[in-house]
Amino acid sequence: MTDRSLALTPEALLMMDTIARSGSFAAAARELGKVPSALTYSVRQLEDALDVLLFDRRSRQARLTAAGQELLDEGRRLLSEIDAVANRVRRVATGWEGQITIAVDDVISRRTVFELCEAFYALNPQGQAGAQQGHGGGPGTRLRLRTEVLSGTWEALVSGQADLAIGVPFVAAGNDAPPAGMALERLGEMAFGFAVAPHHPLAAHEGPISDAELLRYRAVAVADSALRLSPRTINLLPGQEVLTVNSMADKIELQARGLGCGFVPLHLARPYLERGALLLKAVQRERLVGQMGYAWRCTNGAKGERRPPPGLALQWWLQQLGSAATRKALLDANA
Tell me the one-letter amino acid at 260.
Answer: G
- Predicted confidence at residue 187, as pLDDT, reads 93
Q: Residue 188 — very low, low, confident or very high, per pLDDT cuts 50/70/90?
A: very high
User: 83 versus 207: which is more confidently predicted?
Assistant: 207
The end-to-end CA distance of the chain, in Å, is: 58
- Predicted confidence at residue 1, as pLDDT, reads 53
Is residue 251 predicted with pLDDT exceeding 70? yes
CATH number corresponding to 98-335: 3.40.190.290
Distance CA 125, CA 137 (A): 8
- Predicted confidence at residue 233, as pLDDT, reads 65
Tell me the one-letter amino acid at 259.
Answer: L
Instruction: Give the best-scoring range by mean pLDDT among 137-146, 222-231, 320-329.
Output: 320-329
**What's the mean per-residue pLDDT of the chain?**
83
Q: Residue 129 — very low, low, confident or very high, per pLDDT cuts 50/70/90?
A: very low
Q: Mean per-residue pLDDT for 273-300? A: 86
Q: Mean per-residue pLDDT for 39-52? A: 89
Q: Mean per-residue pLDDT for 170-197? A: 78
> Who's near 216: CB < 8 A, 6+ residues apart?
none
Is residue 198 predicted with pLDDT exceeding 50? yes
Beta pairing partners, 322: none
Q: Mean per-residue pLDDT for 144-166? A: 88
Q: Residue 232 — very low, low, confident or very high, per pLDDT cuts 50/70/90?
A: low
Indicate the angle between helix axes 66-94 and 10-22, nearest 10 degrees. Answer: 120
**Least confident interval from 101-105, 234-238, 268-272, 317-321:** 234-238
Q: Where are the domains positioned within the chain?
A: 3-90, 98-335
Is residue 174 predicted with pLDDT exceeding 50? no
Closest CA to 4 of 49, 42, 51, 41: 49
- Predicted confidence at residue 199, as pLDDT, reads 96
Q: Residue 79 — very low, low, confident or very high, per pLDDT cuts 50/70/90?
A: confident
Is residue 94 predicted with pLDDT exceeding 90? no
Q: Mean per-residue pLDDT for 155-177? A: 77
* 70, 52 contact by CB (below 8 A): no
**Least confident interval from 34-48, 55-69, 184-198, 248-262:** 55-69
Q: Mean per-residue pLDDT for 290-308? A: 71
HEC letters along the chain:
CCHHHHHCCHHHHHHHHHHHHHCCHHHHHHHHCCCHHHHHHHHHHHHHHHCCCCECCCCCCCCECHHHHHHHHHHHHHHHHHHHHHHHHHHHHHCCCCEEEEEEECCCCHHHHHHHHHHHHCCCCCHHHHHHHHHCCCCCCEEEEEEECCHHHHHHHHCCCCCEEEEEECCCCCCCCCCCCEEEEEEEEEEEEEEECCCCHHHHCCCCECHHHHCCCCEEEECCCCCCCCCCCCCCCCCCCEEEECCHHHHHHHHHCCCCEEEEEHHHHHHHHHCCCCEECCECCCCCEEEEEEEEECEECHHHCEECCCCHHHHHHHHHHCCHHHHHHHHCCCC
For the whole model, what pTM was predicted?
A: 0.66
Phi/psi at 294 (5° precision): -135, 150
Tell me the one-letter amino acid at 321.
Answer: L
- Predicted confidence at residue 26, as pLDDT, reads 87
Instruction: Give the best-scoring range by mean pLDDT among 26-40, 80-94, 171-185.
Output: 26-40
The CATH architecture of the domain made up of 3-90 is Orthogonal Bundle (1.10)
* 222, 244 contact by CB (below 8 A): yes
Q: Mean per-residue pLDDT for 174-193? A: 78
**Strand bridging mode 279-280 / 182-196:** antiparallel
- Predicted confidence at residue 135, as pLDDT, reads 43
* 308, 315 contact by CB (below 8 A): yes
Instruction: Give the best-scoring range by mean pLDDT among 154-158, 170-174, 274-278.
Output: 274-278
**Least confident interval from 144-148, 182-186, 196-200, 261-265:** 182-186
Q: Mean per-residue pLDDT for 158-176? A: 77
Q: Residue 8 — very low, low, confident or very high, per pLDDT cuts 50/70/90?
A: confident
